[in-house]
Amino acid sequence: MSPLSRRKFVAAVGGTVAGIALGSKVLEATAATNAAPDAYAQKFLDQYNKIKSSASGYFSPAGVPYHSVETLMVEAPDHGHETTSEAFSYWMWLEAVYGRVTGDWAPFNATWAAAEKYIIPTATDQPSNASYNASKPATYAPEWPDPSNYPSPLDGSVPVGADPIAGELQSAYGTPDVYGMHWLLDVDNVYGYGNTAGTGGENGPGASGPCYINSYQRGAQESVWETIPQPCTDLMKYGGTNGYLDLFVKDSSYAKQWKYTNAPDADARAIQAAYWAYRWASAQGNAGAVSASVAKAAKMGDYLRYGMFDKYFKQIGNCTSPSGCPAGTGRSSQHYLLGWYYAWGGAEPGGGWAWRIGDGAAHHGYQNPVAAWALSTVSSMAPKSATGKSDWATSLTRQIEFLRWLQSAEGAIAGGATNSWNGQYGAPPAGTPTFYGMYYDWEPVYHDPPSNNWFGMQAWGMERWAEYYYLTKDSKVKPVLDKWITWVSGQVTVGTGGSFQIPSTLSWTGQPDTWNASSPGSNAGLHVTVADYGQDVGVAAALIKALLYYAAATGSSAAQTLGKNLLDALATHTDSKGIAIAETRTDYSRFKDTVYVPSGWTGKMPNGDTIAPGATFLSIRSFYKNDPDFAKVQAYLNGGAVPSFTYHRFWAQADIAMALALYSELFLGGGVTSPSVTPSASKSASASASASASASVSASASRSPSASPSRGGASVTASYHVDSDWGTGFTATVTVRNSGTTPISSWRVTWAWAGNQQIVNAWNAGSTQSGRTVTAVNLGYNGTIPPGGSTTFGFQATYSGTNAAPTLSASGS
């Protein structure tokens, strides 16, 4: 993997028996052991079981996933046994897929319980939100291009706008607290701050994790190698006289305080995972099993809107000086894209103040149309606030425009845009193109290395767009996908014996045309080249998923074949902990990089390491010298060979598992595999993570393409419900119920439209439409319905005029 200084986040799940700590209670889920319906579903279970095996080491004793199994790891987190909101979101997604394959939703629900316990700050961890003043969200402090420009002075003379959503969030949820994941946890309290989740304190080196921690704070050039870690709750026990606060912000005096940073792409991925869980559980007739977790995702989406606002709630567009850029009013500060972060903080109890900021910098790789679509169109995921649903509908439209604006002549997607040039509302170079007044930035936010040079941003981002197109058949997206798939397919090589290569580092020249919604430009002057290739297994998995969703949505046999071939090549690199390939780390020469500390500043890390001018990455992290793998790094620092490591990152291992399951789902009709061992609780489980999970649909090994009339003791009925309707299209769910006394093994539902409705996409049923007549039949995994049981299928359709509900006929045998 090309090292990337990005606020990105990764992790895992632990056990053929995996312990998820819920206070002193532990939920233990035993993985499915019976035969899967096809080879790829079985490979998913094999990979899943490795991730969940306690012997693999993906999870902490508290049941929190690590960034990687290995501890010697520096990329975005600066230690392998930290974790991130990204890791939690991949964990949620992995367990959603597990629920689809097995019908067991307890592990999925347990991820949300763990998130609320460890990475979504509790009221104790964010204690002064009641003092937040939405009319003055924060005091301005400029960003600077280099860490050496810090600390940055607060400047109360610069106008800041009003926060337009705080009041409606308070009204909707009855609390002033923010419901979002902080991006980084020190899971084993390696640094020793002891900022233990749920305590709101600095409990020191003797405390057990997971503990809140932060790192990046000092401008676009600050790489992971130049950060100074700090606790999220700074009670000034460690660091210098003012804790760590005066390394970052210059003020006349400092108060004990707390602060958190949210990574919007991770929260959006958690919401995306919840949508799939809802869809798949509904197909199994068991939507109630995930309803509480889905409601939490909708709530998270409400707060995630803070990522849609300018950092200081200034107006969007043409901001070229701090004082000249007006304060925003109403929604004039909302760009509707997913920014790089949002953050919030405040005084320790008694201080009487709190603050919130958004971010005016948006990267294409952070956008998530699936989350935006689900939050704005799926009734069960609708946010409670007055404007949450409409904001996400607007965001979806804006994200689509953003994608189209950034596509290069070759097909890859360029960086993004900012409302605050250089992080201080500066004037960009003459001729810089704009997107709704925001300025094009080929490397938004981070420059060491440039944030859009890593190919992973392409794979992550475009997988979501392929997924969105699979769900919606949105015609505005298809031309972009067509071009991107054509470009990337020409850059992938799959050989024999498991050999493959995919792009690793990209290089960019030129810039897009200024965005014109009514007549988009061709971007003939915006170009990408592939600087080098690699074998990043996680990125390969994301790319495979993009290819497979595109193939399923468009019928492209070429994309399906390439995706399958790459998946098969990837699967040959299996080991006892997952699927991994050794990688060399030339960047580990930077262990000796100097970390900027202002002249005259001195302090101590909790373990006694000195923080002073001349300190290095390693000198303030002396614990690395005791790592069993550090000898390889030291030899390299002494002039020896570049060290090689085989890493098991959670996000990568989870995405590989999901790619295997996806091929089964999309192309082999892979369905539910009932676990041969029911999940059980070794100790009484909390209500937020029930140890029992039931599905009203049992697995069926065969598919009956035809359905005879109901007979014997069977009596089959079907009911119809419109989930969302946007005037030109809609989604609906059909529930098929066996109200008889004997099981059925197949079913058929038919109806005739009264208008011009046309189905464009269906799930959990095989559907055909001839004129106005629709026929839907079960798939291989949901044909069997026991007496009193039910299953569901859904579809999306277009229409004009009226949209009357049809009369359904159902039969089964």
Q: Which long-range contacts (CB under 8 A, 24 or more apart) does 194-198 make?
A: 194/606, 195/231, 195/232, 195/233, 197/117, 197/118, 197/119, 197/121, 197/122, 197/125, 198/117, 198/118, 198/122, 198/124, 198/125
Q: Are 791 and 699 in contact (CB under 8 A)?
A: no
Dihedral angle, C-alpha 241, 243, 246, 252, nearest 10 °: -60
- 265, 302, 310, 536: which one is catalytic? 265
The DSSP element (H or E) to which 259 belongs, if any, is strand 257-262
Closest CA to 570 of 17, 47, 23, 2: 47
- φ, ψ (nearest 5 deg) of residue 576: -70, -20
Question: What 3 state SS string does 338-376 have?
Answer: CECCEEEEEECCCCCCEEEECCCEEEHHHCCHHHHHHHH
- φ, ψ (nearest 5 deg) of residue 616: -120, 170
Contacts for 122 with CB less than 8 Å, ≥ 6 apart: 116, 177, 197, 198
| Beta-carbon count within 10 A of 299 CB | 20
Q: Where are the alpha helices (DSSP H) in 175-289?
A: 264-283
DSSP state of 616: B
DSSP state of 708: P
Sign of CA dihedral 483, 484, 487, 488: negative
How far, in Å, CA of 228 to CA of 217, rounded?
9
Closest CA to 412 of 486, 362, 473, 477: 486
Closest CA to 718 of 791, 769, 773, 772: 791
How far, in Å, CA of 338 to CA of 360, rounded?
9
The DSSP element (H or E) to which 261 belongs, if any, is strand 257-262
Question: Any catalytic annotation for residue 202?
Answer: no
> For the chain, how are helix, strand and coil distributed in percent, rounded to 5?
30, 20, 50
- 70, 82, 86, 310: which one is catalytic? 86
Question: Any catalytic annotation for residue 348?
Answer: no
| Beta-carbon count within 10 A of 132 CB | 22
DSSP symbols for 373-399: HHHHH-GGG--SSSSHHHHHHHHHHHH
Sole residue written with tokens 């059909």: 734
Q: Are 290 and 281 in contact (CB under 8 A)?
A: yes
Sole residue written with tokens 């409606």: 168
Integer-rounded Cα Rg, in Å, for the chain is 26
Q: Are 96 and 143 in contact (CB under 8 A)?
A: no
Q: Are 279 and 287 in contact (CB under 8 A)?
A: no
Catalytic residues: 86, 265
